[in-house]
Amino acid sequence: MSTATSTRRWNPQITTPLLFLLPGVLFFLLYVIIPIGQSFNISFYKWDGLGEAEWVGLRNYERLMQDRAFEVSLWNNMKWLVLYLLAIPAGLFIALFLNQTVTGIRLYKSLFFFPFVISQVVVGLVFSWFYLPREGLLNAVITTFGMEPINVLGDPVLATYGVIAAGLWPQTAYCMILYLTGLNAVDPEQIEAGRLDGAKGWRMLWHIILPQLRPATFIAFVVTIIGALRSFDLISIMTNGGPFGSTRVLSFYMFEKALSEYGFRMGYGSAIAVVLFLIMLVFIAYFLWSMWREERAGRH
């Protein structure tokens, strides 16, 4: 299969897989590709979802450029993208820590994995209680150190970081489990060889372990980036986009404009969705490209 396939003629070896792919491709077209096209199309209209759609060309996009709420959302998306990546080293650290044989290690592992199992809604609720301005645990702790109590989710500067911190909790657990599986596959002979050459501590980690964890790191990177871009439920539960819109991200803003109680500006919402899609596309293209590169490298 490693030779070029372009000269092949139609034969069962080609047509059978194509036939098997057909239902998947059809549904992918129906539920993913066509809606993307529709989103692009609707973003050129002014439409409330009920009446006649009015063609407005690029006006929705022009307005986006002036829209401060959009700017805030975009910046928050960037914060999510950057800070969410902390889940990867944190997950790696916990995985290394848990990758030992002690009595009851399975229990510890499952405890660390627990936040990923519970629903995001519950995570959001727990954290919003944790942050409560008067009764919350966070303020109970910091006031014992003589600091002023803070209202994390009520402060337009801090709120987004507060929500991201809540999101990092389950995401770290996710990365941890990826690394734990990865660590199982680390070749003991290479570690032994490294040890004979005098590598230990950080050098061992950096030069021997991490290179073997590359597939796990790649997956962790992919799921974390995607997780950051689709952050929605935590924001909806913890702050509802507030205070005064300071914790919105693009997906939440799109929902508000297009589908929420005060929304139904389908064209404007679609324009936001298109921007979000283009941002995602950059990452997706990168992922696909690096996967393709790996596969090619694997073949030769």
Q: Which is nearer to other proteins, 9 or 134 (CB)?
A: 134
Residue 151, interface with other proteins (CB under 8 A)?
A: yes
CA atoms within 13 A on the CB side of 30: 6
* Residue of 61, 133, 199, 233 interacting with other proteins (CB under 8 A): 133
Residue 239, interface with other proteins (CB under 8 A)?
A: yes
Q: How far is the CB of 170 from other proteins (least distance, A)?
A: 22
Residue 50, interface with other proteins (CB under 8 A)?
A: yes
State the residue for tokens 């404009």.
Answer: 257
Q: Which is nearer to other proteins, 213 or 272 (CB)?
A: 272
Q: Which is nearer to other proteins, 73 or 217 (CB)?
A: 73
Residue 66, interface with other proteins (CB under 8 A)?
A: yes
Q: How far is the CB of 280 from other proteins (least distance, A)?
A: 25
Residue 48, interface with other proteins (CB under 8 A)?
A: yes
* Contact region with other proteins (CB under 8 A), list: 15-23, 71-79, 151-159, 289-297: 151-159
37: phi then psi, degrees, rounded to nearest 5: -60, -40
Q: How far is the CB of 69 from other proteins (least distance, A)?
A: 8
Residue 244, interface with other proteins (CB under 8 A)?
A: yes
Residue 154, interface with other proteins (CB under 8 A)?
A: yes
* Residue of 132, 186, 210, 279 interacting with other proteins (CB under 8 A): 132
* Residue of 12, 51, 146, 298 interacting with other proteins (CB under 8 A): 51
Q: How far is the CB of 205 from other proteins (least distance, A)?
A: 42
Q: Which is nearer to other proteins, 56 or 183 (CB)?
A: 56
Q: What is the DSSP string of the chain?
A: --S--TTPPP-HHHHHHHHHHHHHHHHHIIIIIHHHHHHHHHTTEE--SSS--EE-TTHHHHHHHH-HHHHHHHHHHHHHHHHHTTHHHHHHHHHHHH-S--TTHHHHHHHHHHHHHS-HHHHHHHHHHHT-TTT-HHHHHHHHTTPPP--GGGSTTTHHHHHHHHHHHHHHHHHHHHHHHHHHTS-HHHHHHHHHTT--HHHHIIIIIHHHTHHHHHHHHHHHHHHHHT--HHHHHHTTT-STTTT--HHHHHHHHHTSTT---HHHHHHHHHHHHHHHHHHHHHHHHHHHHHHHHHH-
Contact 81, 279 (CB under 8 A): no
Total residues contacting other proteins by CB under 8 A comes to 27
Q: Which is nearer to other proteins, 132 or 183 (CB)?
A: 132
Residue 109, interface with other proteins (CB under 8 A)?
A: no
Q: Is the peptide bond before 156 cis (omega within 30 degrees of 0)?
A: no
- Binding to other proteins (CB under 8 A) within 171-230 occurs at none
Contact 232, 251 (CB under 8 A): yes
Q: How far is the CB of 268 from other proteins (least distance, A)?
A: 9
Q: Which is nearer to other proteins, 261 or 295 (CB)?
A: 261
**Contacts with other proteins, residue ranges (CB under 8 A):** 48-51, 63, 66, 68, 132-134, 151, 153-154, 239-240, 242-245, 256, 259-265
